[in-house]
A and B are shown apart, each in its own frame.
Chain A
Amino acid sequence: MKILVTVKEVATVEDEFEIEGTGIADQYLGADLNEWDDYAIEEAVQLQEAGVADEVVTVTIGPEECEQTIRQALAKGADRAVRIWDDSLEDVDLLDVGAKTEILSAVVEEEDPDLVLTGVQAGDDSFGATGVSVAEHLGYQWGAVVNHLEHDFDDAASVRRELEGGVEELTEIELPAVLTIQTGINEPRYASLRGIRQAQRKELDVKALADLGVDESAVDAELELTDMYEPESESDVTTWEGSAEETAGELAELLRDKGVAQ
């Protein structure tokens, strides 16, 4: 079985930041492997170690600067990586679900995996929709918000979907399928030093849209980001000031007033 894992380098924002136009000013931005994708990578690597998967390939849409992040997945055990980048993507503010679906679907078609694992969502734009959209686009089956996957497959995957309120849905999904992976499904490993060294030698293919047969117009987002602002705080919080001893004292007094620990 071949598994394709979608991996995204997400933007992280410091606690204090400023907005410029429709984005966060660069100096307040960091970058990290998307948390949900880390679990998807781990699940794929575990399937490979269990002898279920023969090959694990990662795919990313991103510029050269994100290669360090992609190599984390290779260091954890993925076999090779594909990175999609194109001049036409340089000036795109926000890739919407439709654009990501066009690009990733082309890669899935080329790689022809049995199973595609994505994170439930990306920590920055949090659409939570691309995995299911890709599945429908390609005629794959799918399952959203999977927090357990049985590691013995026939022609179907047995999964649990994490519903609201502590309820799980037990579902059989025919292959090929796209599963969106929820945090907590496993314990993502840290890359070993050996893994990190090996990752430097693993294949990382860079492809442009034309290489995938995707027309540049596919990245013209239908969703246009027109404004970004800090939400108005509705807070009427009473904040205690002072040293830790002083503020703890204030809180202790409140708790005693409420009859706690008496």
Chain B
Amino acid sequence: MTDILAVTDHRRGELRDVSYEIITAGRQLANETGGDLHLAVISGTVDEFAEKLNREGVDAIHTVDYGEEFNHDVYTQAISQLYDELAPQYVLAPNSVNGLDYAPAVATQLDLPIVTDTIDLETDGETLIATREMYGGKVETTNELEGSAVATIRSAEWPQAEGTGDAAIEAFDADIDEDAIGSTVNGFEEVGGGDVDITEADVLVSVGRGIEEEDNLPLIEELADALSATVSSSRPIVDNGWLPKNRQVGQSGKVVTPDVYIAIGISGAVQHVAGMKGSDTIVAINTDPNAPIMDIADYAIVDDLFDVVPALTEEFQ
């Protein structure tokens, strides 16, 4: 039997979606060999979280009532102790920013191998077969690990668990060593405010790395003006300081759902797609016919943006 310990994610009083997705991932893996799915809920309003997480397929929920917000030392200690207590075959964690802040430490502390950012998981009870991407999504790979392991799961790859479960909810009395806590969270800050709210726009003209230079940005701005649209961008444009943070679409930026999203010179990394896949109509202008953006685009022009964008602007002038 393959028991699973899955760790849930929350921030500032709210469970994050991946917490419900990890139930599905954990249940699937446990089903393959008839094992149990245990959830760990650490810090915050754990009882309230546990009630919400008690969905179909969960066998037990272990709450660790310690502190309000995420702290990686608390998580690492609590999960390691739960592992010793429950002896699960696999520990699952979200591949979130916080997941990556404790999952590698848990693996190291427990002397287990780790595989991160998985998009599919299978097991026969002995071997874990993990599917993940390499080279920015250009290829997928399968990877095998023998015995017990830690795996992190990519968000939005598994559907959210639904229904009501009959899990046993138990407080776990973790022995947290305060001397081993070496970092302190002092607060949070929302970034990317400002004059423009790209989440309100009906039409977004979004620019990526393909624009090559800051000096080429007026091409995009002229198109946006002609279409009465708003300019947004992928991460590299903001990293380069060419546009302010409030224009960034994606996992670490804004989630947008315009009527029309025109992706210009954007390859469509998974982090970007997470922020715009809910758009009604997606148009991609890109020289690479195999770019991941093509997987979610409704319409595409496979050509040089420096030829297509001026021609399009002209159509509306």
Contact = CB atoms under 8 A, between A and B. Distances in A.
Nearest to A160: B189
B184 A17 contact: no
B203 interface: yes
A210 interface: no
Contact of A183 (B11, B185, B235): B235
Given A136-B105, A136-B108, A237-B299, A11 B135 contact: yes
Contacts of A96: 113
Contact of B260 (A131, A170, A184, A258): A258
Interface string A231-262: 10111011110001101111110110010110
Contacts of A250: 301
A124 B134 CA distance: 6
A164 interface: yes
A129 B140 contact: no
A92 interface: no
Given A136-B109, A167-B191, A251-B301, A126 B227 contact: no
Contacts of A142: 72, 101, 105, 183
The majority secondary structure among interface residues of chain A is mixed
A223 B144 contact: yes
Nearest to A98: B113
Nearest to B302: A239
B146 A171 contact: no
Contacts, number: 257
A127 B105 CA distance: 13
Interface residues of A, number: 83
B183 A125 contact: no
B67 interface: no
Interface of B: 11, 16, 72, 76, 95-98, 100-105, 107-109, 113-117, 129, 133-146, 182-192, 203, 226-229, 235-236, 238-241, 245, 248, 251-255, 259-260, 281, 283-284, 288-291, 294-304, 307-308, 311-312, 314-316
Given A144-B72, A174-B182, A254-B281, 10 more contacts: A11-B135, A98-B107, A98-B114, A126-B134, A133-B105, A142-B105, A168-B188, A183-B235, A225-B142, A247-B311
**Ordered nearest first, which 5 A-B pairs have the shortest CB separation?**
A141-B182, A248-B311, A244-B307, A184-B239, A222-B113
